[in-house]
């Protein structure tokens, strides 16, 4: 990508999109196009058509999506399927119509079958049933991967797909009900500390294993792949390391400085028992993560305190 290339970052106010925007600015790109959802509703076909025909971007990072944790995914099943399909269909199709040089579609590790062998290789896509709680979201993301491949096959479009592991970092979503596990923990432990509560309750047994990647590391990987990867299929992006929910809770407790105890509500669902990405394909391309989990949680907690804590 040349420094003056016109680059559209869809979803620039979200955690992933804002990290990509920061990375591009740091690398000296100046012709960056962004629109808030109020300015451009990506679910609206006509608005997206008008935007692309007017702006004619050279490159597109498709990081816009309706996202949430296990509760939100399971509660708003129709919304997650419909809105994500609308967003990605509109952007990918208009990228083709307007001759975009390259597009990157960002998916999610939930695309893999619930009981797929671990670590998760790219080849395991569509080899078994999905985790029921987030199946609609996963189906939308799988459709996005296949849409990129289909446009590559039929029209020769250089559209690539990347699948990040669980992410956290600056501009994360700390909503009490609709956030992912790590930001939810940061909020819960912080509020418990502020209120002087004796304990914090975590859903499930604490035994599931999860992998986490700092969002700025993801942005670095996306930038790297936009320069160095032009193949069909998908690329996993992760740290290749995993931690139990119990150990994660203890780590967040330590960073936040909560003095009480941790209880596990075993009546609540655990979700997928283990979810670790096989990142050997990405490593073979020459990239690996740089932010260790405890360091990243410290940065995320500082960001949370700046933006969500009343002084």
| Structure-block tokens of residue 27 | 């690398």
Residues recorded for the chain:
311
Residue range 32-52: mean pLDDT, rounded: 97
The reported pLDDT for the residue numbered 119 is 95
307/242: higher pLDDT: 242
The reported pLDDT for the residue numbered 271 is 77
For residue 127, pLDDT over 70 is answered with yes
> Cβ atoms within 10 A of the Cβ of 292, count?
12
Query: Looking at 21-25, 128-132, 150-154, which range is the least confident one?
Result: 128-132
Residue range 112-132: mean pLDDT, rounded: 94
For residue 247, pLDDT over 70 is answered with yes
The reported pLDDT for the residue numbered 195 is 96
The reported pLDDT for the residue numbered 8 is 98
- Which residues, in sequence order, are bridge partners of residue 203? 265
Q: So where are the chain's domains?
A: 7-171+212-239+277-291
Categorize the per-residue pLDDT at 209 as very low, low, confident or very high, splitting at 50, 70 and 90.
very high
Which residues are annotated as part of the binding site for NADP(+)? 11-17, 106-109, 141, 164-167, 180
Residue range 247-260: mean pLDDT, rounded: 97
The reported pLDDT for the residue numbered 179 is 75
Element spanning 214, H or E: strand 212-214
Residue range 273-287: mean pLDDT, rounded: 93
Which residues are annotated as part of the binding site for substrate? 188, 203, 210, 270
The Cα 282–Cα 162 span in angstroms is: 10
Categorize the per-residue pLDDT at 245 as very low, low, confident or very high, splitting at 50, 70 and 90.
very high
The reported pLDDT for the residue numbered 311 is 54
**pTM for the whole thing?**
0.92
183/179: higher pLDDT: 183
> Do 193 and 257 meet the contact criterion of CB atoms below 8 Å apart?
yes
Residues 86-95: pLDDT tens digits?
999 999 999 9
Catalytic residues: 137
The Cα 34–Cα 13 span in angstroms is: 9
DSSP symbol at 129: P
The Cα 175–Cα 183 span in angstroms is: 9
- Name the CATH architecture for the domain at 7-171+212-239+277-291: 3-Layer(aba) Sandwich (3.40)
> Do 87 and 124 meet the contact criterion of CB atoms below 8 Å apart?
no
DSSP symbol at 127: S
Which residues are annotated as part of the binding site? 11-17, 106-109, 141, 164-167, 180, 188, 203, 210, 270
120/310: higher pLDDT: 120
Residues 149-180: pLDDT tens digits?
999 999 999 999 999 999 999 999 888 776 78
Residue range 226-247: mean pLDDT, rounded: 96
The Cα 215–Cα 235 span in angstroms is: 16
The reported pLDDT for the residue numbered 250 is 97
The reported pLDDT for the residue numbered 310 is 65
């Amino acid at each position: 990508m040349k420094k003056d290339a016109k680059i559209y970052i869809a979803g620039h106010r979200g955690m992933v999109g804002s990290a990509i925007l920061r990375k591009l600015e740091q690398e000296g790109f100046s012709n960056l196009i962004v629109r808030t959802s109020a300015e451009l509703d990506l679910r609206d076909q006509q608005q997206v058509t008008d935007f692309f025909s007017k702006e004619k971007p050279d490159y597109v990072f498709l990081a816009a999506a309706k996202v949430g944790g296990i509760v939100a995914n399971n509660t708003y099943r129709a919304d997650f399927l419909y809105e994500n399909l609308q967003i990605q269909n509109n952007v990918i199709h208009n990228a083709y119509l307007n001759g975009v040089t390259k597009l990157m579609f960002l998916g999610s590790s939930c695309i893999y079958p619930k009981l797929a062998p671990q670590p998760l290789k790219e080849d395991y896509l569509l080899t078994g049933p999905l985790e029921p709680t987030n199946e609609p979201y996963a189906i939308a993301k799988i459709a996005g991967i296949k849409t990129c491949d289909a446009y590559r096959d039929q029209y020769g479009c250089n559209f690539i797909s990347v699948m990040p592991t669980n992410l956290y970092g600056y501009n994360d979503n700390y909503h009490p009900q609709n956030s992912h596990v790590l930001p939810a923990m940061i909020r819960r432990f912080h509020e418990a500390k502020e209120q002087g509560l004796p304990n914090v309750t975590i859903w499930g047994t604490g035994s599931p294993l999860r992998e986490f990647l700092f969002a700025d590391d993801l942005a670095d990987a996306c930038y790297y792949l936009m320069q160095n990867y032009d193949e069909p299929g998908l690329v996993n992006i992760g740290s290749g390391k995993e931690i139990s929910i119990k150990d994660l809770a203890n780590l967040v407790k330590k960073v936040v400085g909560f003095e009480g105890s941790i209880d596990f509500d075993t009546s609540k669902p655990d979700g997928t028992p283990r979810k670790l990405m096989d990142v050997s394909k990405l490593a073979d391309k020459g990239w690996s993560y740089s932010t260790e989990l405890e360091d990243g949680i410290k940065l995320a907690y500082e960001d949370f305190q700046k933006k969500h804590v009343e002084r």
